[in-house]
Structures are given as structure tokens and as C-alpha cells.
A and B are shown apart, each in its own frame.
Chain A
Amino acid sequence: DADVTQTPRNRITKTGKRIMLECSQTKGHDRMYWYRQDPGLGLRLIYYSFDVKDINKGEISDGYSVSRQAQAKFSLSLESAIPNQTALYFCATSDSGQHTDTQYFGPGTRLTVL
């Protein structure tokens, strides 16, 4: 079984709809992250969380919100989806957040906003 799972894997939605992407992990890590990937732009950080009470904005948080329901779950919401939010979204985890900690990525969610 995968250590970091994301649901759904693919989603097509319409402009203005509310969308939630979910991430779960069984690694027991405290830190969780949401990234989006656009062609030619690499991975850009949307939000990150160090524990259930510590949530931080990344470089592109506008238009997104998150919820850390438990240590193992971190959800990303698009309150009113727009076409330029069409992208591949990755969730990731890391252990203690030290600068040498490896991040472990989920399989990604491909979101299309029409």
C-alpha cells in the first residue's frame, strides 16, 4: 500500500465549483505540503502544515484553502475553481522538517477546470 495517497486522481470540473482534494499518509510524519505543477514551472508550494495547529501559506496560496483534520490528513480546497487552476497537484510529507528531510510525494491529482 502507498504511504501517501491522494483522492481523486483525476477530476474535471466547471468554473465556479467548489473542489476538495484529499491527502492521507501512513508514514506518521508531522509535516504535510500541497504543491501544484504546471508545465515549465516545476513544483510551486501552495500551503504547508507542521502539525494540526500550524498551517502556513506558500508562494501561491491565493484561491486555495486547506484543512489539517488530523496528523494523517491534509485537504486542499478550491472555493470557486477557475480555469487557471488547471494543473497537477501533489501532496507530500516529511518527518521533522529539518533541512535534510526527504519529502515523500503522493501520486498526484490531475485537475481540469473548464
Chain B
Amino acid sequence: ILNVEQSPQSLHVQEGDSTNFTCSFPSSNFYALHWYRWETAKSPEALFVMTLNGDEKKKGRISATLNTKEGYSYLYIKGSQPEDSATYLCALYMDTGRRALTFGSGTRLQVQP
């Protein structure tokens, strides 16, 4: 089974702080990396899909980078706000014969006002 590791498991920051967290994965047979945002009591929603080494995506204050050669992606949040509080899930589509995403366990972010 493919291991998709996310760190840290949880994070508490103050409003206005910038933060980042990591998704690590085996670098071989990589097809795509997805980031999802999951707020409590809601459904996970897609943030980014990344496919190319060196790819960078941005949506407002949130951005993500991808290094396929070394097997990691960083998600950055600039100037965290309380509404950014959520669990951020990383998922990979790999060439393992299984035609579906494999999710990491997530990073739970809490932003204190």
C-alpha cells in the first residue's frame, strides 16, 4: 500500500501567522497530487491538483509547491485567518494499478483569533 505522509498532524497558530505543512510520498510512478480542504461538519473540497515537478499553484492566500523528484509537496497559508481552520488532505494518484486516489491522514489547522 502506498504511503502518503502528512506532517504535522495538527497545528495551532495565531491569526495573522503564516504557516506551512508537508505531504511526502514515494517519488516513483507519480501521476498527480491533490490537495483538499475539509472543514468540520462539511465535505472535503478540492484546492489544487498538481502534476509537474516544480509546479506551483495559488488561490488567494493559499499556495502549494510540488517536488516530484524528492517526493514532497508544501502547502502554504499566508496570514492565517480563523476561517482557514480545517483539515488539509493530500492525495496521490500513482501508477500502482489502483486507479484511485490514496489519501494522507491530513494536517488539522486551528487558527486562533
A interface residues, Cβ below 8 angstroms from B: 4, 33, 35, 40-45, 48, 50, 56, 58-59, 90, 97, 99-100, 102-108
The smallest C-beta distance from B56 to any residue of chain A, in angstroms, reads 16
Does A103 lie within 8 Å of B89, measured CB to CB?
no
Does A42 lie within 8 Å of B106, measured CB to CB?
yes
Closest 3 CB pairs of A and B: A42-B105, A99-B31, A99-B93
Q: How large is the interface on B (under 10, 10 to 19, 20 to 34, 35 or more residues)?
A: 20 to 34
B interface residues, Cβ below 8 angstroms from A: 1, 6, 9, 31-32, 34, 36, 42-46, 49, 51, 89, 91, 93, 98-106
CB-nearest residue of chain A to B43? A105
The smallest C-beta distance from A5 to any residue of chain B, in angstroms, reads 11
Does A58 lie within 8 Å of B100, measured CB to CB?
yes
CA distance A32 to B31 in the complex (A): 20
- What chain A residues lie within 8 Å of B46 (beta carbons)? 102-104
- What chain A residues lie within 8 Å of B1 (beta carbons)? 59
Does A90 lie within 8 Å of B43, measured CB to CB?
yes
- What chain A residues lie within 8 Å of B98 (beta carbons)? 56, 58
Residue contacts A-B, CB under 8 angstroms, 23 given: A33-B100, A41-B105, A42-B89, A42-B104, A42-B106, A43-B103, A44-B103, A45-B101, A50-B99, A56-B98, A56-B99, A58-B98, A58-B100, A97-B99, A99-B32, A99-B51, A100-B49, A103-B34, A103-B101, A104-B46, A105-B43, A105-B45, A107-B43
- What chain A residues lie within 8 Å of B105 (beta carbons)? 40-42
- What chain B residues lie within 8 Å of A103 (beta carbons)? 34, 36, 44, 46, 101
- What chain A residues lie within 8 Å of B6 (beta carbons)? 42
- What chain A residues lie within 8 Å of B103 (beta carbons)? 35, 42-45
CB-nearest residue of chain B to A103? B101
Q: Which of B42, B89, B93, B99 contacts A43 (CB 8 A)?
A: B89
- What chain B residues lie within 8 Å of A102 (beta carbons)? 34, 46, 49
Does B43 lie within 8 Å of A106, measured CB to CB?
yes
CB-nearest residue of chain A to B30? A99
Q: Which of A56, A59, A90, A100 contacts B44 (CB 8 A)?
A: A90
CA distance A33 to B91 in the complex (A): 14
